Structure 1
Amino acid sequence: MATSVQEHSVSLVFVKEDQKGGFQFCNSLESQQPLKLEVKAEEEGAELRVIDGNGVCVFKCSVNRETESCRVGKQAFLITVGFSSVLLQFKSLNEFFTFYNSLKIFKGSNKARSAFSQRTEDASAAQYFQFYGCLSQQQNMMQDYIRTATYQRAILQNHVDFNDKVVLDVGCGSGILSFFAVQAGARKVYAVEASSMSKYAEDTFDVVILMARSVKYTVNFLEAKEDDLHRMEIPFVFRILQSGLVHGLAFWFDVAFVGSQKTVWLSTSPAEPLTHWYQVRCLLQTPLFAKEGETFSGKVLLVANKRQSYDIHIMAMVDQTGFKSGNLLDLKNPFFSFYE
């Protein structure tokens, strides 16, 4: 295995247990100076060293398969050595996943290694997954019309090879080929992605998970005034078709191009062929349980902001139980815009 050293920007928090069984969190060095995490492969794991701005090592440990450690939240990592614990907080999600994926490789180095691991340097693998974990790179590939359209044509024009089949999409990236497989009639699709892109791919959805029929809100652009679009209130009442947790609302749009001779429709519905807008899914802060036949009602308020987008206010309730939930979301957030 090629020896390599990775470097990451982190903050370091020491976790101590008090006499009452609670926890105390102490930032290192009582200052805001930047810290650098060095990760070096060892025979059965990795050596971690945290270096301050003066080049002084303020924390050092070895991590292997026996070390007590786990991911915390989106981009932090907790390590316990003996009776002491430290929390490494990374500056970005991509940087965290580069560290996290490399650590899994290092910790598994004493096991039988895969053919990929045997012929690939660890640093190269980490760089590869970091590259394809960037939203901009996935967007660049999807906007390559020749590439994307050829893949789609190859799958849809051979739909008999996919109809009612189970498909494994290894290295699915954004999940675009998995969508094509579903369009071609695949019974089930397993989309597998090793980079941080998996977080975004898993948040897209298929129409089969929708718990109610869609409701429609219409804007007539021939009659609407500009001010009408600054604030839009959309009431909704859904009749639940299957019992389960309602995690949020899905949004998409249809546009009618009304001509003098023919009206042409553009649809971004999940039941129609995929577009680059995808759909928007807006989660409630707390999921609500609803039974089949119950009604789920509320309103969505879209308020134009100065970021060329909308703030979305969701208020929802299961009418039969009175349970309520809601959320306030920024549609400009890339997490939404990439999967619109």
Structure 2
Amino acid sequence: LPPAASTSASPSPTPRKHSTAHKGLWHMDGRGMNFQPFCGSWADGVCVFKCLVNRDTEYCRVGKESVLITLGYNSALLQFKSHSEYSTFSNALKRCWNQKKENSVFSQRTEEASAAQYFQFYGCLSQQQNMMQDFVRTATYHRAILQNHIDFKDKVVLDVGCGSGILSFFAVQAGARKVYAVEASSVAKYAEILVRSNNLSDKIMVLSGKIEEISLPENVDVVISEPMGYMLFNERMLESYLHSKKWLKSNGMMFPTFSDIHLAPFSDEQLYMEHYSRANFWYQQCFYGVNLSSLRSAAVDEYFRQPIVDTFDIRILMARTVKYTVNFTEAEEEDLHRVEIPFVFQMMQSGLIHGLAFWFDVAFVGSLVTVWLSTAPTEPLTHWYQVRCLLQTPLFAKEGETLSGKVLFVANKRQSYDIQIVAVVDQTGFKSVKYRVGEILSQKYITFAGCF
């Protein structure tokens, strides 16, 4: 391309003194701003290149009359003939940014700091590797797609949150005609590199942006994604997955199709005492001459409101599980803003109930076979592990008695949920109410901060 709209794979393209875009056209649409610069001296007034700019596009001012725009792994230096032309273009950029900020469903439900941290983490190849090396996860998706190849043969597929693009490659292997791979983090540039190096640019189109903000050129036959977080709901990616249905044809398919979240009471005296022991640090009355004991109660609350992401022996479970199903083909985004799961457990053994354990399964319902991905403690371990929520006050129950109550998930703007657990031993009236304020920031990308 002429220097007027130079693109470069290097992070700092070198401007040239004659790289002046004399004219430019732009217009706003639902996706953002389409910009087409023209250059008379270099291109006889024809379009040199065009690009889509939205609120996620990185740009900065260079000098008095130039703008440097980052477009995926390329950069474009736009130099204007006059300050008035620069100002007009700059104001259009600002209007585009503000428009998307107001209209984006994702932006409305998510704090900017949380989103920035989230996408920064998933932009790392090390995290993509962590997920890809989860054999159960990757192999199950591969099997679900390839064994239902007739659902992908000559079809148009949407991959939501494609990451490295591995699921998009699976779809092509199954015969997909076209795959639109949407990724909001900076890993999109790596997905594009993989697509090109595997000579699949004619099959896979990587779209950098959030599914709530991008636009597709056509509707799709199948939506694929890996939207599950800890405890199924964490990270609120499921809402983006459901949002993608606006591009799905009326008879389209979703992989995964539905999910079951399981919960059961457990007894684990050692885990319970470990948490109390940690909080007892604040029970010291002479720590280098300072009395810390006034903070012990707050420390206990903090430790016990943090869910534990790990695995365990199923023998600690005290009753059969209760299951709650989310059908992705029928559910709407709003259905996940508040999720209430009632439960009644019949105790299979006597003892102290220290909390509730959670895990999930997802099903890929294809035309040929239904494939299951399970994160249960009885199955091979995945990077989702299992999640346990401790009760600060354990409940004693005898074999045959019933434990009833509810788990309430309320979505917050930190891409997670606040949780309330109410549990009662019906025969004795013993009750434990657990309010969980905060969120579990996925262990996949940072240590816990608050609660799920």
Q: Which has the larger radius of gyration?
A: 2
Higher relative helix content: 2
Q: TM-score, normalised by structure 1?
A: 0.41
> More relative contact order in 1 or in 2 (CA 8 Å, sep 6+)?
2
Higher relative strand content: 1
